[in-house]
Structure 1
């Protein structure tokens, strides 16, 4: 049975969410560090836009391709809220982003569970 691309997409989003969660955790940890610039990860949509879509090899000798799953951590755009110490971390914003990541993880997991359940019912039939 061939892997379904939905599982691959869910895996890539899960990896992206893990990188984003690490960036947010680093921002929160450095909230009082003078001169620290808050970081975030580029939107997942941009990661998908960079992905190369190609045919997969079904036999040896067939041409195949790979997708680009690198996630770029970049400085977060400051909304004018820069502390006197030149720190750009706003804890409220970071906590809201952490909540978004949690909800996205939960949605990702629920979709994978539902799709896995449908696949298992199709295989049993």
Structure 2
């Protein structure tokens, strides 16, 4: 009967994407000294959003895990985790989560105002 607004669906997907990315980043940091561990990340949110829009309504697409290209940061034990890079990614994920939360709060405020509450 009631379909969620597209903007709230997108904000929910962004929050879920950010939470998943934060978990992957935490796993990378936890394995920073594990020999042979390859750093991972999730696909960009635009890809997740594209799949979500292609799916039937009410389906939230989960972000997909992917390995990070090792670049020049391969340690002698074969580990590709760079703590500096992981901290930058953690700040980005936090920023995206805060953005999703702000959007959700704003939409809720608009709806409450429209209802006269």
The two structures have a TM-score, normalised by structure 1, of: 0.84
Q: Deviations over 1:35-72 (max 9, x none)?
A: 00000000010112223458xxxxxxxxxx33451221
State the distance in 1 between where 2:54 and 2:88 align: 33
Deviation beyond 4 Å, 4+ runs, structure 1: none
Greater radius of gyration (CA): 1
The two structures have a TM-score, normalised by structure 2, of: 0.89
Q: Which runs of 5+ in 2 are unaligned?
A: none
Corresponding residue for residue 38 of structure 2: 37
Structure 1 residues 1-125: aligned runs within 5 Å: 1-53=2-54, 65-66=56-57, 67=59, 69-124=61-116
Q: Which runs of 5+ in 1 are unaligned?
A: 55-64
Larger relative contact order (CA 8 Å, sep ≥ 6): 2
| Aligned Cα root-mean-square deviation (Å) | 1.7
TM-fit CA distance, 1:103:
1.2
Q: Deviations over 1:98-121 (max 9, x none)?
A: 011111111111111111101110
How many residue pairs align between the two structures? 115
